[in-house]
Amino acid sequence: MLLIKPIDALKHQLDTLSDSARRGFVHLSIPYHVGNVMGWLNAQSVYPRLYWQSRDEGAVEYAALGVVKAFDSLAALQADFTALADSGGEQPDYFGGMAFDPDAPGWQHFPGCYFLLPRIVLRRHQGGATLSLNLRFDDRCPEAEIAQARACLAALEEEQPLPCLLPHVYQREDRPTLREWTASVAQVTHPDQLGHTPKVVLSRETCLTTPETPSPWSLLARWQTGAADCFHFGVQLTSHEAFIGCPPERLYKREGRHLMTEALAGTTRRGQDAQQDQTLADKLLADKKNNLENQCVYQQLLTQLEPLSSQVQMGEAHIVKLRSVQHIRRLIHAELHIGITDQQLLAVLPPTPAVGGVPRDSSLAFIRQHERHRRGWYAGVFGRISHASSDLAVTIRCAHISPEAIRLYAGAGIVAGSQPEEEWRELDTKIADIMSLLGMG
Ligand SMILES: C=C(O[C@H]1C=CC=C(C(=O)O)[C@@H]1O)C(=O)O
Ligand SMILES: [Mg+2]
């Protein structure tokens, strides 16, 4: 019996694609066996390499490679969406993200906005996996498109075990320092400032240097196992840099016209035992400063959703327990008006006051003027967008990894009643998970 390798089956589908099938967006798929999706991704030499898993229980795992088409603006993404939707055929999944402040100077190799339609997608769900090849025929030469797709398939490598995470000794440098942080918190909480800007989320970059940084995919794979209720993402636009994270916060999820979003803000640590944990949670839910942080977020979301949707409903405040922290969360549901697009939502909703502040303009002005580190894609957006449904996370609890350093980012909502040392400790609890994985816990 002749054994056909799965990839050959995909090549065969490509080779036998009829002329009449060469239209619009084409998606060829085969069942595929994969042990570890990140192990597969890490073995590939095609870039960009991207990983995405939503936080919902049993969520699909996606690994994506290469580019059929990339978009550096929401308008360009919208135009592609509309072109494909009008053609009426199958609709693709787009993946990508945005910086916190796309108009401010960001990270060198990370554009302010970058979404892509990947060439290859490995999708695993409930034990079964499929490998897909994406093609576009509506705006390019069919022969060239097929040749590029073939080259990408030919470059695919077998899955490999992820490299072990070796212990390293890291040098740590915080920007701002505690002294600088204390001065900034004092500025934000000055009555004159609070009078016009009740909340600013200040952030910190923790730079860890070591002669050899670990594999981002090994790190993300370990991080993910302790962050079950979080989103999991990683992206490498080039081979020497990665941005990974396990954020607990959803920007929004859209299913058809149904929108789910949330106010996640207000933080305390986990207790040493169940009783202390509960006491901390009760205190958090009753705490004025933490409730103000959360209120700033939901009020802005409700105001922004008003003109875009109807039946806006908000649930009760409740506690979300993560490995090292607990947060206050309020879930929000709404029905979008007909014709409201993801691009409109992405133009309006981020940055939410969970990462920016209120009012948006003056809080962003404060951040631009006072923060010396570049947030880049920290506190931005990352996720999946498609015609039928979209799901996007706010990129907090994340790390930027380059050959020189690992940069960890954390922010804290500063409002009336914020104390600099307490907020500084909050930053440390927010990076505690990844710090312990790095042996710095
Ligand atoms: C900005 C971050 O967290 C936000 C989300 C949850 C709780 C927050 C807080 O309590 O300050 C922040 O608003 C971060 O982790 O970098
Ligand atoms: Mg806080």
Paired tokens of 147: 């040749």
Judge if 76 and 140 occupy the same domain: yes
What residues form the annotated binding site for Mg(2+)?
A: 293, 426
Q: Is the CB of 284 under 6 A from ligand 1?
A: no
What are the residues facing 314 on neighbouring strands?
A: 332
Q: Quickly state the pLDDT bin for 6 (edges 50, 70, 90).
A: confident
Tens-digit pLDDT profile for residues 391-411: 999 999 999 999 999 999 999
Percentage of residues in the chain with pLDDT exceeding 70?
A: 99
| Predicted local distance difference test score (pLDDT) of residue 3 | 55
Same domain, 117 and 198: no
Specify whether 259 is located in the same domain as 392.
yes
| pLDDT tens by residue, 372-382 | 999 999 999 99
Same domain, 332 and 401: yes
- 119 and 196, same structural domain? no
Q: What share of the chain is helix, strand, coil (3-state, %, to 5)?
A: 30, 30, 35
Residue 160, in any domain of the structure: no
148 with 183, same domain: the answer is: no
CA of 396 to the centre of ligand 1 (A): 8
Kindly state whether residues 316 and 423 are assigned to the same domain. yes
Residue nearest (by alpha carbon) to ligand 1 atom 8: 265
pLDDT number for residue 231: 99
* Residue 1 clears pLDDT 70, i.e. is over it: no
Domain that residue 114 falls in: 6-12+25-154
Task: Let me know if residue 162 belongs to a domain.
Answer: no
Confidence class for position 167, pLDDT limits 50, 70, 90: confident
Ligand 1 neighbourhood includes 201 CB (under 6 angstroms): yes
326, 393: one domain? yes
Query: 202: Cβ below 6 Å to ligand 1?
Result: no
- Nearest residue to 244 via CA among 262, 259, 263, 230: 230
Looking at the structure, tell me whether residues 305 and 188 fall in a common domain. Answer: yes
Q: Ligand nearest 265 Cα, by number?
A: 1
Decide if 50 is inside a domain.
yes
> Which CATH number covers residue 337?
3.60.120.10
Predicted confidence band of residue 4 (pLDDT cuts 50, 70, 90): low
Mutate to test the pocket of ligand 1, among 293, 378, 431 (most ligand atoms within 8 A of CB): 293
Q: Decide if pLDDT at 52 tops 60.
A: yes
Tokens of 338: 């007909």
Q: Indicate which residue of 11, 69, 159, 199 is catalytic.
A: 199
Domain end call among 123, 154, 185: 154
Residues 268 and 185 in one domain: yes
pLDDT at 85: 86
Query: Mind spelling out the 3-state secondary structure of 207-222?
Result: EEECCCCCCHHHHHHH
Asked whether residue 269 falls in the same domain as residue 369, the answer is yes
**Do the beta carbons of residue 24 and residue 141 sit within 8 Å?**
no
| Confidence check on the interface: ipTM exceeds 0.90, yes or no | yes
Q: How confident is the model at residue 203 (pLDDT cuts 50, 70, 90)?
A: very high
Number of domains within the chain: 2
CA distances from 366 to 27, 54, 183, 235, 394 (A): 46, 32, 13, 29, 20
User: 139 and 239: one domain?
Assistant: no
pTM of the model as a whole: 0.97
The answer to whether residue 157 is catalytic is no
